[in-house]
Amino acid sequence: MIVVLKQGVTEAKRDQLINWLQDLGLRIHLSVGEYQTVLGLVGDTSQVDMDLVSSLEIVDSVKRVSEPFKCCNRKFHPEDMVVECEGVKIGGGHFAMIAGPCSVESEEQIVTVAKAVKAAGAQLLRGGAFKPRTSPYDFPGLKATGLELLKIARQETGLPFVTEIMSVADLPLFEDVDMLQVGARNMQNFDLLRELGKLDKPILLKRGLANTLKELLMSAEYIMANGNERVILCERGIRTFSDYTRNTLDISAVPMLHELTHLPVIVDPSHATGMARLVPSCALAATAAGADGLIIEVHNDPIHALCDGAQSLRPEEYTELAAKVMQLREVVAG
Ligand code: PEP
Ligand code: MN
């Protein structure tokens, strides 16, 4: 249930109402916007007399919300959420360019790529240290060593980085990581989501291979309901009957998610297509659809990459694409 307050209501009167609702056993999500103050009532609202609340002098309107996601529901929080990561803002008009290799392979590789993507305009570095691989015989990532190499690349370039966590057991290793990624395969690892909800770090939550938007939002809800509101959603392609691309980029997910939630939505055209030559068009399409950022795989030597070389752009290709994205952003934002 959401309660919209009239403009100009005093804090004292607002808090009186909040205390009364809390006494009914509800959690209140307070959103103070420039024009509106909205109370999101989380919990069993069957006890609340809607007519009584509507009749209060300070209340503008009361609505029942049927969606099972509350914390990430735009109805509770009409204004876009801006997620900040070490000075980089994402959402609410702030567009984030995230780039780097699929996997961290060596100090030279990650530092070279980090410098190249920074020069092209990227604000965040990506790189997997713990890799979820379909085959147990494939390169699983450098794990803890990979995280150390990402820190070196950060020191060399000043770029904060995002890297994937696969298991709750690895959490102590991620203390000095700027943003944690939950990969597609772990989107419904509920124990992991719950633990990430207790952190004070931004979480990049990727949509599962075959998950609906509602399921993605329910996963975001796990993180947010545990106290961490800094969630960024990522559309990275879903399984369909497409026969030529790795996945199918669900472009309509971007405007639909923007309607449903106030969380930033970014797009990963690399995993969506699986082919470097298709990445630029899909990246531009995502930008035009209003995405709040792009996460793109870039490798200095894609042919010899240990993971996802076929979908990785070379630094010069990324530079060219980044310039086009920035031009298009001006059109979209303007
Ligand atoms: C990745 O980012 O390298 C990755 C494994 O992505 P996804 O979880 O979307 O497959
Ligand atoms: Mn990858």
Encoded tokens for 175: 């203390």
Which SS3 state, helix, strand or coil, does residue 35 take? coil
The segments of the chain whose pLDDT lies below 70 read none
Shared domain for 147 and 269, answered yes or no, is: yes
Residue 280 domain-assigned? yes
Instruction: Give the per-residue pLDDT at 154.
Output: 98
Residue 185 domain-assigned? yes
Which SS3 state, helix, strand or coil, does residue 305 take? coil
Residue to substitute in 98, 102, 139, 207 for testing ligand 1 pocket (most ligand atoms within 8 angstroms of CB): 102
Shared domain for 24 and 52, answered yes or no, is: yes
Is the shortest distance between the CB of 206 and ligand 1 below 6 Å?
A: yes
Instruction: Give the per-residue pLDDT at 44.
Output: 83
Shared domain for 122 and 263, answered yes or no, is: yes
Shared domain for 317 and 247, answered yes or no, is: yes
Residue 78 domain-assigned? no
Shared domain for 213 and 272, answered yes or no, is: yes
Query: In the chain, which residue ranges form alpha helices assigned H by DSSP?
Result: 11-23, 50-55, 107-120, 144-157, 190-196, 213-225, 253-260, 269-273, 279-288, 315-333
Residue nearest atom 1 in ligand 1 by C-alpha distance: 102
Q: How far is the CA of 320 from the centre of ligand 1 (A)?
A: 23
Residue 240 domain-assigned? yes
Is the shortest distance between the CB of 132 and ligand 1 below 6 Å?
A: yes
Task: Tally the domains of the chain.
Answer: 2
Instruction: Give the per-residue pLDDT at 261.
Output: 98
Shared domain for 42 and 188, answered yes or no, is: no
Residue 97 domain-assigned? yes
Question: How many residues in the chain?
Answer: 334
Encoded tokens for 86: 């070490």
CATH of the domain at 316: 3.20.20.70
Residue 202 near residue 234, CB atoms below 8 Å: no
Encoded tokens for 72: 């990430």
> Which atom of ligand 1 lies nearest, measured to the CA of 128?
3
Residue to substitute in 204, 236, 299 for testing ligand 1 pocket (most ligand atoms within 8 angstroms of CB): 236
Residue to substitute in 180, 268, 296 for testing ligand 1 pocket (most ligand atoms within 8 angstroms of CB): 268
Residue 249 near residue 217, CB atoms below 8 Å: no
Is the shortest distance between the CB of 29 and ligand 1 below 6 Å?
A: no
Shared domain for 252 and 201, answered yes or no, is: yes
Shared domain for 237 and 106, answered yes or no, is: yes
Shared domain for 50 and 88, answered yes or no, is: no
Is the shortest distance between the CB of 158 and ligand 1 below 6 Å?
A: no
Residue 111 domain-assigned? yes
Which SS3 state, helix, strand or coil, does residue 147 take? helix
Is the shortest distance between the CB of 184 and ligand 1 below 6 Å?
A: yes
Shared domain for 29 and 104, answered yes or no, is: no
- According to DSSP, the residues that pair with 180 across neighbouring strands are 163, 203
Indicate the pTM of the whole model. 0.92
Task: Name the residue range of residue 95's domain.
Answer: 83-333
The pLDDT tens digits of the residues spanning 13-59 come to: 999 999 999 999 998 989 888 888 999 998 888 878 989 999 999 99
Q: Is the dihedral of CA 285, 287, 292, 298 positive or negative?
A: positive
Q: How far is the CA of 69 from the centre of ligand 2 (A)?
A: 29
Encoded tokens for 252: 């309509």
Instruction: Give the per-residue pLDDT at 112.
Output: 98
